[in-house]
Homo-oligomer: A and B are copies of this chain.
Amino acid sequence: MRIAGRPYRSIWLDAATGQLQIIDQTLLPHRFEVRAISDVAAAAEAIRTMRIRGAPLIGAMAAHGLALALAEDPSDSNLERASEELSATRPTAVNLRWSIDRVVAVAAALPPPNRAAGALAEAIAICDEDVATCEAIGDQGLAILRELSDKRDPKEPLQILTHCNAGWLATVDWGTALAPVYKAHDAGLAVHVWVDETRPRNQGASLTAFELREHGVPHTVVVDNAGGHLMQRGRVDVVLVGSDRTTAAGDVCNKIGTYLKALAARDNEVPFYVALPISSIDWTIEDGLREIPIEERDGAEVREISGKTSAGRVETVSLFPAESPVENPAFDVTPSEYVTGLVTERGCFEATPEGLQGIREAVRRPPQTP
């Protein structure tokens, strides 16, 4: 997608030097800075400190991280060490494990001198596939948005509420929840996005609003508390969020607070769709509440916040004294019963064991356009 009119991906190899590069998302929206990633430690650090985040992008970075590790030392022991280092960075996202396993399988089958090149090719393939997947999610979601739009006053924009950032900055390009929004906007369908601020890290206000602004999509930032009120007043036509991990029964683990929006959507008969790549489905578990470990992050994310001073410096300020303890769970689980549909690259499916079975079957067939 575009920043100041120029197309970007969220992770890429510099055309001149071949160096791996990312946009340092911790500096957005105040500063746009490209950062080089030159070894596996830098890759792990970028995931852990959330310079890059979003399940698909984490997976892409881990794949490239393994390629960087093997370029330094292609031994079995280094491959194992690097996989472990990258796996340990974020416990919730299932793409991370999926992506690492995929590169390890390719590399381990090659003689050591060929491993770095093999891993790099696989990392590039993972990135390209992610772009294609997200664009397909966009097309599938666009069909849903068109249908919802047809049911209402065509002069008014379709009102979409989203939580956190499941945009192109969370993937390699297009995004998951935002891909249908970009597709709709580009196709001339009037849309307006309610952007949840998404405390504590404010990915909505910092990243989703940044993306939409740069792409010219009408949007309004609201605090996370406001979504229920907006739905009660009939000001939201559809909720569209991403997913970090979806179970084989359709439970959705996503950014903390997603569950509250799902409850409000149900209470106000607003459809609640989850957009996700099929790779983020964890087929090994059913009950999201009991089986998904929820990452507990540093309380400093709640206690401190960064912003721009009137003098233009980015400063971190403390919101309340350290004497008050903090808990900071990063995700919650939305039970499948609250999910209207799972929008995947192979179509929209019900969040039920039968719907998930439909996804399994769709994967075995060639892709179809909606």
Contact = CB atoms under 8 A, between A and B. Distances in A.
Given A222-B328, A223-B256, A229 B294 contact: yes
A319 interface: yes
Nearest to A209: B324
A112 interface: no
A206 interface: yes
A358 interface: no
Contact of A259 (B206, B228, B309): B228
A361 interface: no
Contacts of A319: 202, 205-206, 305, 307
Contact of A264 (B233, B260, B321, B328): B260
Interface in A210-230: 210, 212-213, 219-230
B260 A225 contact: yes
Contacts of A202: 319-320
Contacts of A173: none
Contacts of A227: 260
Contacts of A213: 321, 323-324
Given A257-B228, A319-B202, A319-B305, A327 B263 contact: no
A187 B261 CA distance: 38
Given A199-B197, A264-B263, A232 B333 contact: yes
Nearest to A195: B324
Size bracket, chain A contacts: 35 or more
A255 B212 CA distance: 29
Q: Which residue of A223, A232, A267, A307 has the most chain B CB atoms within 10 A of its CB atom?
A: A223
Contact of A324 (B219, B233, B307, B315): B219
Contact of A220 (B255, B310, B318, B325): B325
A146 interface: no
9 contacts: A195-B324, A200-B223, A222-B326, A225-B256, A226-B328, A228-B257, A260-B263, A263-B264, A309-B317
Interface string A286-327: 000100001000000011111111100001111111011111
A83 interface: no
Contacts of A316: 309-310
A271 interface: no
Contact of A305 (B29, B267, B307): B307
A157 interface: no
A246 interface: no
